[in-house]
């Protein structure tokens, strides 16, 4: 199950570091930040309050290189992980930590820069998490893992200094690899893979509002045309759920207080009828220490 996910990671490393053999320089941006909140109460404290420790680590990078006059490579990677530790309100003992944030999103994009109205592209994207902790005591790593191969046409609508809007439309093939718990007592898992294909639209916006204020946005829309498990769903209420349009819209505003302190607001709206009949919303407001590696 992990072979394709590992191959996507290996491709990123090979291209990013192997590209240094050519003369053209890389355009690099890599930031990491760490945020934490903490409160605690003694065992004599009255009032029912509970202590907690919450921490989150984020890393994000964009690497671009024009390998030749007609081919440009871009890697956009996002990694996040965080946990929350809660204090028992009665005994004041600390409970086992619970995962609060977990994300692996690595996207490789190759643009054939023909300097025309639109440019052909090929893409490879890996979306996953470090581990699935939904079943206590059984950690399933890189599960689920979604691998998307895409190809089509892209257009850069605006590009100036640190501002850019690029959209692409094409055909995509997806493989979703999952490790399911087969036996809770024995801790046994089983792997399964589903495949689908359809049309995908992705728009990326990067906008520098000022020297200390930045905004990024990513809107992804996917419409499946076929699904490998369609026959298994016939006659069930979920028979046509896979045909619904999937939507993911991410927004992040980052403000730099000084060289090392930043405030960030992140929101994500998700709609995938196969997972939930309702839309899902995530919001994170963080104040933390950041460091620009590149």
**CATH code for the domain in which residue 143 is found:** 2.40.230
The answer to whether the CB of 57 falls within 8 A of the CB of 34 is yes
pLDDT confidence tier of residue 69, bands split at 50, 70 and 90: very high
| CB atoms near residue 22 (< 10 Å) | 12
C-alpha to C-alpha distance for 173 and 86, rounded to whole angstroms: 41
The answer to whether the CB of 22 falls within 8 A of the CB of 67 is yes
Q: What percent of the chain has pLDDT over 90?
A: 61
CA-atom Rg of the chain in angstroms: 22
Lowest mean pLDDT among 111-115, 236-240, 243-247: 111-115
| Phi, psi of 276, rounded to the nearest 5 degrees | -150, 140
How many structural domains is the chain composed of?
Answer: 1
pLDDT confidence tier of residue 154, bands split at 50, 70 and 90: very high
- 8-62 per-position pLDDT tens digit: 555 555 455 444 445 578 989 898 889 888 888 777 777 777 888 999 999 999 9
Residues of the domain holding 228: 2-292
Q: What would the two tokens of residue 17 be?
A: 């570091």
Residue 7, pLDDT > 60, answer no
């Amino acid at each position: 199950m992990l072979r394709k996910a590992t191959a996507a990671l290996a491709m990123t490393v090979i291209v990013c570091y192997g590209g240094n053999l050519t003369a053209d320089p890389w355009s690099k941006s890599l930031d990491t930040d760490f945020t934490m909140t903490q409160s605690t109460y003694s065992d004599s404290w009255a009032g029912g309050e509970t202590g907690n420790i919450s921490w989150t680590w984020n890393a994000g990078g964009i690497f671009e290189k024009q390998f030749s006059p007609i081919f440009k490579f871009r890697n956009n990677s996002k990694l996040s992980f965080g946990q929350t530790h809660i204090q028992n309100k009665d005994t004041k003992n600390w409970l086992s930590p619970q995962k609060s944030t977990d994300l692996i999103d690595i996207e490789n994009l190759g643009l054939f820069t023909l300097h025309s109205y639109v440019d052909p592209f090929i893409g490879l994207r890996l979306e996953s998490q470090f581990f699935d902790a939904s079943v206590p005591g059984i950690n399933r790593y890189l599960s689920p893992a979604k691998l998307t191969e895409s190809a089509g046409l892209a257009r850069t609508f605006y590009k100036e200094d640190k501002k850019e809007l690029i959209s692409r439309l094409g055909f995509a093939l997806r493989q979703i690899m999952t490790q399911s718990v087969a036996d809770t007592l024995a801790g046994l898992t089983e792997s399964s893979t589903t495949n689908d294909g359809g049309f995908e639209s992705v728009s990326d916006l990067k906008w520098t509002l000022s020297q200390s204020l930045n905004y990024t946005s990513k809107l992804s829309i996917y419409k499946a045309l076929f699904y490998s498990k369609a026959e298994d769903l016939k006659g069930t209420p979920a028979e046509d759920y896979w045909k619904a349009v999937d939507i993911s819209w991410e927004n992040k505003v980052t403000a730099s207080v000084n060289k090392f302190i930043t405030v960030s607001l992140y929101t994500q709206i998700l709609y995938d009828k196969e997972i939930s009949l309702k839309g899902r919303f995530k919001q994170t407001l963080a104040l933390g220490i950041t460091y620009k590696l590149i």
